[in-house]
């Protein structure tokens, strides 16, 4: 091992090469010469010559390396993939999907034993992963004592996705029953618990798709736990997984006919598989167990000819519990009904299957027996021919944005209204088409919703009750995809139907009307219409609610929001407080009380009491935190209110930080590629720009805008708002000429999308376009018309609203541009009369406008005072470091210089100029003031 | 993974490696390394118990994945094999090191229980790697012959092509190096 030895080898091998090139007779002499009297070298050469003669191949080394490679890599892969915070304990198994390990999850304080599934798939792309994680979150939302909880889903160190499930120790349901020699009744009772768990998941639009005894373990307490709920679906979609793997992995023996045929799957597939499980638990063997080849088994399943469990049980192996050898005809009928080839001939829901089993246990007649006549089925199909067709609709709802949004949100209202109602009525009653086969974009959802709406009108004409419920579900679905304006008329129609004598469900009408108000408010539609709907809802609850405090609280809460949007702050405050009292009195859940506090916060802020508003929002957030609901959309919306309150209260730093937090939450809740995140990003970009953080704003805008364009389309209100914000950022940068076309296009799209109906956003769009036009030097007819239309519409609706100030100020500037100073001053008087209900910025700009007027009139001293006031208002508002302050500082400095106070002017300029130069690009209009 | 790389670009880099361009080598090695690592993991995850992982097959597949159906110039093919051999060796040794560092009894238990007969794999890979590293200091060509033979699974004829030396020379190098390694590892 020494250097000496190495040198010796080096020389020896060279000598060997040389020797072997020589004719054999010459070699001995050459070797003699080469080694001279170095014995060690000679021995080395001889040893090597021998080695060269050995033609035995690689020896044991090569296969050993290959074998070792396998060991090492197998082990190392696991090492590498074990996600952070997990420690692998023991390998539980390996299947087509990948490996399953018993692992410990360490989240710093607690250690949890989990079954860690490391999926066999290539590294997913960002979008695929985001979807995978989003689906994972939905599954994580399944909280049922008989369902093994999905603890975590993510991507391991090697990029392959993993799932962590609650680790369950137990025995397969069939073996557990056999080991305990459970009787028929006991088995059915245990199976009913399984049904309850499946029913729970179905109500949340999650299908198991791989139910089998191996996935149903019974623990020490005799409680069954269902494993891998929805995992099959997740795996299907798992990034990198290919379809054939999934199909192969599916356990054929428990697969439903539609599964084998590769058709879209619904809840009916689980009902079928439950049938097989029940069959096996009772009869001790599966149907088709005797069929040898896979091909024959496939055909047998597809034929739908299932041998009755009782006949199989009679033949069963000797030694099997005698009590189980006689299976009653009723049970036969139930099992066979679950196993019908046609999905629509099975039980319509798991609940129905469970009910029938209970009928049997209670010795009541079972439904399944009657089914033999086919009467019920035919009646059922006839009565519900529309809803069956509507399965397509549910597919889109379930597969697209809505489904994920709704479920991920866990917003009590939305979840209850959309998931609950839609599910109750459509999903669990009728075959739910497989979400995977449906489109995955809002766009598709919107299209299908439109289609569904058309069908309700034609096909359910004679069934007002069903129509009302479907219209309500549809209306809420529109709300779910942020198309509240489209949903509102449906909800109105649902309410109308609910109030007809044939239906007579006033509380359902109240619910629809409240949903309508919220839909309009969510879409920033007409606040008057929202208020009207909310009032009607409240009225119905007061008359028919029979003292249900929570219903009443909800009605007041919604009314408060509508009143606030309509600018009726005092009434809004009264309603919000009433809602809060009612919620507190009825011990409502913390998130509901939080909602009331938020409403109060918003209203307080809207009446100009910004500092007083903030603590209400903070209390709301604290309630969420104490209830552990900080990972919800409700919390996200609460953060939004809080930010607004902070902004108005002048705490920009905290507002900005909160907004950053919210963005992170949005990403977690909705995923990287969601339209919601994209919209939040765009809005955040404007906030950043308003704080002079233009670079970061550009980044945030660039991340959001394309997603909105792709997800919502170029004709959507969302896209209009997004390019509006892009234009506004240009304006804030002082690039007025670039801002104008964007703002104009945004207004055009927006008007087209909302059909020029009264809307909260339209005035903002119009005013801001006018402002940009005026600043760009185009104070012409277009700008004036925009502003006057807003003022006209607003004053008609609400003469003293502070909103008017936003339009009056630019109109004053418009008049200044046309040297119509008297009109301008009268408008400015009105703006200033609004007081603190508008931001200090507005007052600063009003002061600056006055300065311009006074200067034009030759009153330089008055102009100087107003320039000073404009500067100081900004200074107090956003501080000396803000570009806006710097801009007004330079304007003030110019006035100072004109007044002969060069020293003070210079000192101001020294500080302000670098700020402007750093914040704004060279061609920005704001830089011009700095150069003069 | 290979999607990110342009086969043409890699081929060009391989050309430059062949001309002794160290920068090109530095550029292309991680690509090959990553590819092999991914392939090895994938192959193992798909494999049934008892199968041996053929390092040779992996190298070939990596080549196929990186270059698709594109026919490689013979020179490039050889250059790639040489690179892949080194990468393969690194993949294996890195894992072996990590395992050794972990020194968790359970991992040893796993190996002996459900993987293979340990007797077959009594080779000390980390030791082999160190020995090869010394050999490459003493005689780089012999070390490369061993790399190509062991880790890329190449035949001696091919190795002769890659290294551009006469076949008998490669045979001798191989046999001498083998003897040397056995002596080193045995001691």
A104 Cα to chain B: minimum distance (Å): 15
A363 SS3 class: coil
* Predicted complex ipTM: 0.75
Which pLDDT does position A927 carry in this prediction? 76
Q: Which of A10, A193, A168 is nearest to A92 (CA)?
A: A168
Which residues, numbered 157 to 176 in chain A, qualify as contacts with chain B under a Cβ-Cβ cut-off of 8 Å?
Answer: 158
Q: Which residue of B has its CA nearest to A125?
A: B1
Among A1, A98, A123, beta carbon nearest to B1? A123
Among A48, A55, A123, beta carbon nearest to B176? A48
Measured between beta carbons, which residues in chain A are less than 8 angstroms from residue B178?
A: 51, 58-59, 61
- Span B77-121, pLDDT tens digits: 677 777 777 777 777 777 666 666 554 433 333 333 223 333 234
Q: Does A61 touch chain B (CB under 8 A)?
A: yes
Biggest CA pair distance of chain A = 123
Contact check, Cβ <8 Å, B116/A47: no
Q: Which residue of A has its CA nearest to B170?
A: A17
Measured between beta carbons, which residues in chain B are less than 8 angstroms from residue A52?
A: 171-172, 175-176
- Cβ–Cβ < 8 Å for A46, A68: no
Q: Say if B1 falls within a structural domain.
A: no
Q: Which of A803, A786, A696, A801 is nearest to A746 (CA)?
A: A786
How far apart CA A801 and CA A793 sit, in angstroms, is: 11
Which pLDDT does position A700 carry in this prediction? 92
Structure tokens at A482: 């942020």
Q: Say if B2 falls within a structural domain.
A: no
- Cβ–Cβ < 8 Å for A174, A194: no
- If one looks up domain A589-670 in CATH, what number appears? 1.25.40.10
Q: Is residue B180 predicted with pLDDT exceeding 70?
A: yes
Q: Does A95 touch chain B (CB under 8 A)?
A: no
CATH class of A169-372+380-385: mainly alpha
Which pLDDT does position A393 carry in this prediction? 37
Measured between beta carbons, which residues in chain B are less than 8 angstroms from residue A68?
A: 92, 96, 121, 123, 125
How far apart CA A821 and CA A823 sit, in angstroms, is: 6
How far apart CA A246 and CA A234 sit, in angstroms, is: 10
Within chain A, all domains assigned CATH 3.30.200.20 are found at 85-167
Which pLDDT does position B41 carry in this prediction? 62
Q: Does B179 touch chain A (CB under 8 A)?
A: yes
Measured between beta carbons, which residues in chain A are less than 8 angstroms from residue B116?
A: 67, 70-71
Q: Say if B97 falls within a structural domain.
A: yes
How far apart CA A38 and CA A699 sit, in angstroms, is: 75
Among A13, A55, A120, beta carbon nearest to B45? A120
Measured between beta carbons, which residues in chain A are less than 8 angstroms from residue B45?
A: 77, 98-99, 120
Domains in chain B, number? 1
How far apart CA A141 and CA A26 sit, in angstroms, is: 86
A672 Cα to chain B: minimum distance (Å): 22
Query: Which residues, other chains included, contact A787 with Cβ-Cβ below 8 Å and sequence gap of 6+?
Result: A766, A767, A770, A807, A810, A811, A814
A670 Cα to chain B: minimum distance (Å): 27
CA distance to A83, A204, A368, A401, per residue, from A275 (Å): 37, 21, 13, 32
Print the SS3 string covering A473-493. HHHHHHHHCCCHHHHHHHHHH
A528 assigned to active site: no
Which residues, numbered 616 to 645 in chain A, qualify as contacts with chain B under a Cβ-Cβ cut-off of 8 Å?
Answer: none
Q: Please state the separation of Cα A136 from the chain's center in Å.
A: 11
Which pLDDT does position A99 carry in this prediction? 66
Measured between beta carbons, which residues in chain B are less than 8 angstroms from residue A63?
A: 52, 120
Q: Over range B21-28, report the average pLDDT.
A: 66
Q: Which residue of A has its CA nearest to B125?
A: A65
- Span B37-63, pLDDT tens digits: 666 665 555 543 334 456 666 676 666
Among B99, B122, B139, beta carbon nearest to A75? B99
Q: Has A117 been labeled as part of a binding site? A: yes
Look up the CATH superfamily of A418-433+444-588: Tetratricopeptide repeat domain (1.25.40.10)
Q: Does A248 touch chain B (CB under 8 A)?
A: no
Pick the residue of B1, B33, B45, B148 with the most A CBs within 10 A to test the interface with A by mutation.
B45
Query: Which residues, other chains included, contact B51 with Cβ-Cβ below 8 Å and sequence gap of 6+?
Result: A70
Contact check, Cβ <8 Å, A70/B98: no
How far apart CA A228 and CA A534 sit, in angstroms, is: 43
A6, A23, A39, A210: the active-site residue: A210
Which pLDDT does position A382 carry in this prediction? 34
Among A59, A62, A77, beta carbon nearest to B41? A77
How far apart CA A94 and CA A98 sit, in angstroms, is: 6
Among B92, B137, B139, beta carbon nearest to A69? B92
Contact check, Cβ <8 Å, A74/B102: no
Q: Give all strands (DSSP E) within A504-565, no chain letters.
A: none
A429 SS3 class: coil
Phi/psi of residue A88, each to 5°? -80, 135
Query: Which residues, other chains included, contact A347 with Cβ-Cβ below 8 Å and sequence gap of 6+?
Result: A271, A337, A338, A353, A356
Q: Which residue of B has its CA nearest to A60?
A: B120
Q: Which of A265, A175, A266 is nearest to A212 (CA)?
A: A175
Within chain A, all domains assigned CATH 1.10.510.10 are found at 169-372+380-385
Q: Does A707 touch chain B (CB under 8 A)?
A: no
B31 Cα to chain A: minimum distance (Å): 15
How far apart CA A763 and CA A756 sit, in angstroms, is: 11
Contact check, Cβ <8 Å, A69/B40: yes
Q: Which residue of A has its CA nearest to B172?
A: A52
Q: Which residue of A has its CA nearest to B42?
A: A120
Contact check, Cβ <8 Å, B92/A65: yes
* CATH topology for the A85-167 domain: Phosphorylase Kinase; domain 1 (3.30.200)
pLDDT along chain A (932 residues), means of 10: 82 89 85 85 89 70 64 47 70 59 76 76 58 67 82 71 83 89 90 91 76 88 84 52 38 75 77 93 81 67 78 69 78 90 82 88 72 38 33 34 29 32 32 29 47 61 71 74 79 91 86 92 84 94 80 91 86 91 82 89 83 91 84 84 84 86 84 81 87 86 89 83 92 90 93 73 89 91 92 76 85 94 93 81 92 92 94 87 88 91 91 85 74 46
Query: Which residues, other chains included, contact A498 with Cβ-Cβ below 8 Å and sequence gap of 6+?
Result: A468, A504, A505, A506, A508, A509, A512
Which residues, numbered 145 to 164 in chain B, qualify as contacts with chain A under a Cβ-Cβ cut-off of 8 Å?
Answer: 149-151, 153
How far apart CA A351 and CA A61 sit, in angstroms, is: 64
Which pLDDT does position A590 carry in this prediction? 83
Contact check, Cβ <8 Å, A72/B99: yes
Domain that holds residue B167: 7-186
Among A13, A59, A72, beta carbon nearest to B92? A72
Which position has the higher pLDDT, B136 or A923? B136
């Amino acid at each position: 091992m020494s250097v000496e030895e190495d040198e010796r080898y080096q020389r020896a091998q060279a000598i060997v090469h040389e020797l072997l090139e020589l004719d054999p007779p010459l070699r001995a002499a050459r070797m003699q010469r080469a080694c001279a009297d170095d014995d060690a070298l000679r021995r080395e050469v001889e040893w090597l010559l021998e080695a060269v003669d050995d033609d035995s191949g690689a020896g044991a080394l090569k296969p050993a390396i290959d074998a070792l490679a396998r060991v090492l890599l197998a082990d190392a892969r696991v090492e590498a993939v074990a996600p952070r915070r997990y420690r692998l304990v023991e390998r539980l198994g390996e299947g087509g999907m990948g490996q399953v390990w018993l692992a410990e999850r360490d989240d710093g304080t607690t250690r949890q034993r989990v079954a860690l599934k490391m999926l066999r798939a290539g590294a997913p792309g960002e979008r695929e992963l985001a979807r995978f994680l989003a689906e994972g979150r939905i599954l994580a939302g399944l909280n049922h004592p008989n369902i093994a909880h999905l603890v975590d889903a993510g991507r391991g160190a090697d990029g392959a996705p993993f799932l962590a499930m609650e680790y369950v120790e137990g025995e397969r349901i069939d073996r557990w029953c056999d080991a305990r020699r459970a009787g028929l009744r006991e088995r059915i009772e245990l199976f009913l618990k399984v049904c309850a768990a499946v029913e729970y998941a179905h109500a949340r639009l999650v299908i198991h798709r791989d139910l089998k005894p191996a996935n149903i373990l019974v623990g020490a307490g005799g409680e069954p736990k269902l494993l891998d709920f929805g995992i099959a679906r997740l795996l299907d979609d798992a990034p990198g997984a290919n379809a054939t793997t999934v199909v192969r992995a599916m356990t054929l023996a428990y697969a439903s006919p539609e599964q084998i045929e590769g058709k879209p799957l619904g809840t009916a597939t689980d009902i079928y598989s439950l049938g097989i499980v029940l069959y096996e638990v009772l009869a001790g063997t599966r149907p088709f167990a005797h069929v040898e080849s896979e091909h024959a088994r496939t055909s047998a399943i597809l034929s739908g000819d299932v041998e009755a469990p009782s006949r199989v049980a009679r033949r069963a192996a000797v030694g099997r519990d005698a009590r189980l050898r006689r299976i009653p005809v009723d049970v036969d009928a139930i099992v066979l009904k679950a196993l019908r080839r046609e999905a629509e001939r099975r039980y319509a829901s798991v609940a129905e299957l469970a009910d029938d089993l209970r009928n049997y246990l209670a010795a009541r007649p079972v439904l399944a027996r009657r089914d033999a006549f086919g009467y019920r089925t035919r009646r059922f199909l006839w009565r519900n021919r529309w809803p069956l067709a509507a399965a397509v609709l549910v597919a889109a709802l379930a597969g697209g944005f809505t489904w994920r949004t709704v479920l991920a949100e866990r917003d009590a209202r939305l979840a209850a209204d959309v998931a609950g109602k839609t599910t109750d009525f459509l999903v669990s009653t009728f075959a739910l088409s497989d979400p995977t086969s449906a489109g995955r974009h809002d766009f598709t959802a919107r299209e299908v919703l439109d289609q569904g709406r058309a069908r309700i009108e034609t096909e359910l004409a004679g069934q007002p009750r069903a129509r009302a419920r479907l219209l309500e579900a549809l209306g809420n679905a529109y709300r779910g995809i942020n198309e509240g304006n489209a949903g509102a008329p449906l909800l109105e129609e649902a309410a109308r139907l609910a109030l007809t004598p044939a239906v007579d469900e006033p509380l359902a009408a109240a619910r629809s009307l409240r949903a309508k108000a919220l839909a309009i408010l969510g879409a920033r539609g007409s606040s008057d219409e929202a208020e009207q709907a909310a009032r009607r809802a409240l009225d119905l609850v007061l008359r028919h609610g029979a003292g249900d405090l929570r219903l009443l609280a909800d009605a007041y809460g919604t009314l408060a929001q509508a009143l606030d949007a309509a600018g009726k702050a005092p009434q809004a405050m009264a309603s919000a407080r009433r809602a809060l009292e009612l919620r507190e009195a009825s011990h409502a859940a913390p998130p509901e009380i939080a909602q009331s506090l938020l409403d109060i916060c918003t209203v307080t802020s809207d009446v100009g009491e910004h500092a007083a508003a903030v603590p209400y929002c903070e209390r709301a957030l604290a309630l969420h935190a104490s209830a552990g609901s900080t990972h919800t959309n409700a919390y996200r919306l609460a953060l939004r209110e809080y930010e607004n309150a902070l902004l108005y209260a002048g705490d920009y730093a905290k507002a900005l930080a909160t907004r950053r937090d919210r963005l992170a939450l949005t990403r977690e809740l909705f995923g990287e590629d969601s339209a919601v995140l994209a919209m939040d990003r765009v809005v955040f970009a404007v906030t950043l720009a308003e704080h002079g953080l233009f670079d970061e704003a550009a980044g945030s805008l660039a991340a959001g805008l394309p997603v909105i364009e792709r997800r919502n389309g170029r004709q959507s209100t969302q896209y209009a708002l997004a390019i509006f914000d892009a234009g506004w950022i240009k304006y804030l940068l002082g690039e007025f000429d670039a801002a104008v076309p964007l703002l104009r296009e945004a207004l055009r799209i927006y008007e087209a999308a909302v059909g020029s109906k009264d809307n909260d956003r339209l005035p903002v769009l119009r005013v801001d376009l006018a402002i940009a036009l005026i600043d760009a030097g185009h104070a012409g007819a277009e700008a004036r018309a925009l502003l006057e239309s807003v003022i006209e519409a607003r004053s008609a609706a609400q003469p003293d609203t502070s909103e008017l100030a936003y339009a009056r100020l630019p109109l004053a500037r418009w008049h200044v541009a046309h040297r119509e100073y008297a009109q301008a001053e009268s408008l400015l008087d009105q703006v200033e009369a609004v007081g603190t209900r508008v931001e200090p910025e507005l007052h600063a700009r009003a002061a600056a406008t006055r300065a311009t007027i006074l200067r034009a009139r030759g009153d330089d001293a008055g102009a100087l005072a107003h320039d000073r006031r404009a500067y100081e208002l900004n200074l107090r508002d956003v501080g000396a470091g803000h570009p806006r302050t710097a801009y007004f500082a330079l304007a003030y400095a110019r006035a100072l210089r004109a007044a002969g106070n060069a020293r003070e002017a210079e000192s101001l300029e020294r500080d302000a100029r670098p700020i402007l130069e750093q914040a704004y690009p060279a061609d920005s209009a704001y830089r011009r003031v700095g150069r003069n | 993974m290979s999607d990110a790389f342009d086969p043409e670009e890699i081929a060009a880099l391989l050309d430059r490696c062949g001309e002794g361009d160290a920068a090109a080598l530095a550029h292309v090695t991680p690509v090959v390394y990553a590819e092999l690592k991914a392939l090895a993991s994938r192959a193992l995850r798909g494999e049934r118990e008892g199968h041996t992982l053929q390092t040779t097959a992996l190298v070939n597949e990596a080549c196929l994945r990186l270059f698709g159906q594109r026919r490689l110039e013979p020179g490039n093919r050889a250059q790639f094999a040489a690179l892949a051999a080194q990468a393969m060796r690194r993949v294996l040794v890195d894992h072996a090191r990590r395992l050794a560092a972990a020194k968790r009894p359970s991992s040893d238990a796993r190996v002996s229980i459900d993987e293979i007969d340990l007797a077959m794999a009594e080779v000390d890979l980390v030791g082999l790697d160190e020995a090869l590293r010394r050999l490459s200091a003493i005689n780089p060509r012999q070390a490369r012959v061993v790399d190509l033979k062991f880790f890329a699974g190449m035949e001696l004829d091919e190795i002769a092509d890659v290294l551009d030396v006469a076949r008998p020379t490669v045979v001798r190098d191989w046999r001498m190096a083998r003897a040397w390694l056995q002596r080193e590892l045995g001691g």
